[in-house]
Amino acid sequence: MLGARRLLGALRLCSSVSCPRPRATAKLRVRDALGVQDASGECVTVQGWIRSVRSQKEVLFLHVNDGSSLESLQVVADSSFDSRELAFGSSVQVQGQLVKSQSKRQNVELKAEKIEVVGTCEAKAFPIKYKERHPLEYLRQYPHLRCRTNALGSILRVRSEATAAIHSYFKDNGFMHIHTPVLTSNDCEGAGELFQVEPSSKIKVPEENFFDVPAFLTVSGQLHLEVMSGAFTQVFTFGPTFRAENSQSRRHLAEFYMVEAEVSFVESLQDLMQVMEGLFKATTEMVLSHCPEDVELCHQFIASGQKWGVDLQTEHEKYLVRHCGNIPVFVINYPSELKPFYMRENEDDPQNTVAAVDLLVPGVGELFGGSLREERYHVLEQRLARSGLTKAYQWYLDLRKFGSVPHGGFGMGFERYLQCILGVDNIKDVIPFPRFTHSCLL
């Protein structure tokens, strides 16, 4: 076997960059062009899509956006460049000199020397219209085009930034990343709301499961993380989870993302709450410092008043949050019979509570849910027996037989987090391709 070092050495030797083509001018992303301090005529090339065109007698102004930032780069050109193809939505490549702008609205602008229309845009057929602020509901009809608007651009940049921040937070705090499986044969926890998976009917062998057992889409990576927390003291996962919930509410998706963490050797719910809080703060601080203008756009043009779900439970949550001054609120120690078998029983007879914790936030409701897990073999054994799950969860009980440790963890709904910090009312607008009852476009 080739060693990794030799592989790397080999790759260096046979680098594909051995014959770089000469580039006339530096290619710059719009974000980087906008960030140039004291521009003084540098020759650059910028590529992107036209967001606006303003034609004056002798000058033509274009705004070019490439998705790297909300702000576009102003291109100033001689009016001789004007053409019908230089229109909203067209893709262009502009070569010119980066200079200090005379206007106060931007630092720099690009004095065009060459403008090339790369791809034209059929204005009539294009569902996104120049200078119009389309409602998010309207844009949902065009999942393949809506990312070309300012609103979705900002939301998706924040989503990307938050994703990176979450990975960083866990890495910086010594957590190991685990890819928990999407396909699972556990079917008990999610009960009635599971999706089942089979090879497509075209190749389905009748009367036989592909996996020999029924397979479902995961509703949570928790149990698999618990497996890992028997060897690694801090683990996390960040992946898709699924519910076949027949709901088109603004708070539910059939496919959504969860951030889940599990910590070994915890002593109390406080240990978990510190991680939850650290995660929320670190992620939000990173988003605010890396894309403040995207957050600003959402708050200015998208965020609506506080709307809450209408079911009773959500109303309770709303009351609690309001009662505490409209700030995030931790709720702990729930009645045992309301919660699943794996939550650790508190020693508080006769109240019979379990060590569970939820974090409720204004506008969204439950953002985090977590608990200590029952690590005591005999207590867990009894609870499984009571629920008739002993056989299915023998492997889970096994984990408590070999060096069991007190542990606990939590999950955070990633889309709800984005709704919370951006004030976006409908969950379908904070995920690139929303899936819900009656809808699986593209």
Site for its own copies in 325-344 (CB under 8 A): 325-330
Q: Judge whether 133 and 301 are in contact, CB under 8 Å.
A: yes
Q: 43, 118, 379, 385: which one contacts its own copies (CB under 8 A)?
A: 118
Is 426 a residue that touches its own copies (CB under 8 A)?
no
Angstrom distance (rounded) from CA 440 to CA 424: 21
Which residues touch 241 (CB under 8 Å, ≥6 apart)? 217, 218, 219, 220, 221, 255, 256, 257, 258
Angstrom distance (rounded) from CA 227 to CA 181: 12
Is 116 a residue that touches its own copies (CB under 8 A)?
no
Please choose, from the candidates 342, 334, 333, the residue with its C-alpha nearest in 3D space to the C-alpha of residue 189.
342
State the binding string over 376-395 for its own copies (x if CB under 8 A, else -): -------------------x
State the binding string over 38-77 for its own copies (x if CB under 8 A, else -): ---------xxxx---------------xxx---------
Scanning residues 95 to 114, which ones bind its own copies (CB under 8 A)? none
- Rg, Å, the chain Cα set: 27
The DSSP code for 300 is: I
- Give the DSSP H or E segment for 40: strand 40-55
Is 131 a residue that touches its own copies (CB under 8 A)?
no
Q: 33, 361, 380, 412: which one contacts its own copies (CB under 8 A)?
A: 361
Please choose, from the candidates 434, 149, 414, the residue with its C-alpha nearest in 3D space to the C-alpha of residue 301.
149
Output the six-digit token pair for 106.
Answer: 């931007």
Torsion of CA 359, 360, 365, 366, to 10 degrees: 20
- What's the closest the beta carbon of residue 326 comes to its own copies, in angstroms? 6
Is 432 a residue that touches its own copies (CB under 8 A)?
yes
Angstrom distance (rounded) from CA 154 to CA 160: 10
Please choose, from the candidates 378, 288, 380, the residue with its C-alpha nearest in 3D space to the C-alpha of residue 342.
380
Angstrom distance (rounded) from CA 70 to CA 129: 18
Q: Is 267 in a helix, a strand, or coil?
A: coil
The amino acid at residue 435 is R
State the binding string over 392-421 for its own copies (x if CB under 8 A, else -): ---xx-xxxxxxxxx-------------xx
Query: Which one, 121 or 261, has the nearer CB to its own copies?
Result: 121
Q: 81, 169, 257, 341: which one contacts its own copies (CB under 8 A)?
A: 257
Query: Which one, 388 or 403, has the nearer CB to its own copies?
Result: 403
- How many residues at the interface with its own copies, by CB under 8 A? 155
Q: 40, 79, 120, 141: which one contacts its own copies (CB under 8 A)?
A: 120
Q: 24, 125, 310, 312: which one contacts its own copies (CB under 8 A)?
A: 125
Q: 212, 337, 347, 349: which one contacts its own copies (CB under 8 A)?
A: 212
CB-count exposure of residue 229 (10 Å: 0-12, 13-18, 19+): buried
Is 270 a residue that touches its own copies (CB under 8 A)?
yes
Is 373 a residue that touches its own copies (CB under 8 A)?
no
Is 188 a residue that touches its own copies (CB under 8 A)?
no
Q: 34, 64, 139, 178: which one contacts its own copies (CB under 8 A)?
A: 178
Q: 199, 315, 385, 386: which one contacts its own copies (CB under 8 A)?
A: 199
State the binding string over 271-310 for its own copies (x if CB under 8 A, else -): --xx--x--xx--xx-xx------x---x---xxxx----
Q: 115, 223, 384, 389: which one contacts its own copies (CB under 8 A)?
A: 223
CB-count exposure of residue 257 (10 Å: 0-12, 13-18, 19+): buried
- What's the closest the beta carbon of residue 177 comes to its own copies, in angstroms? 4
Distance of CA 414 to the CA centre of its chain: 5
Angstrom distance (rounded) from CA 223 to CA 13: 45
Q: 36, 53, 136, 197: which one contacts its own copies (CB under 8 A)?
A: 197
Buried b (16+ CB within 10 A) or exposed e, 288-302: eebbeebbebbeeeb
Q: Judge whether 434 and 140 are in contact, CB under 8 Å.
A: yes
Q: 138, 265, 301, 319: which one contacts its own copies (CB under 8 A)?
A: 265
- What's the closest the beta carbon of residue 102 comes to its own copies, in angstroms? 28
Stretch that binds its own copies, among 94-102, 118-126, 342-350, 380-388 (CB under 8 A): 118-126
Stretch that binds its own copies, among 73-81, 96-104, 229-237, 309-317 (CB under 8 A): 229-237
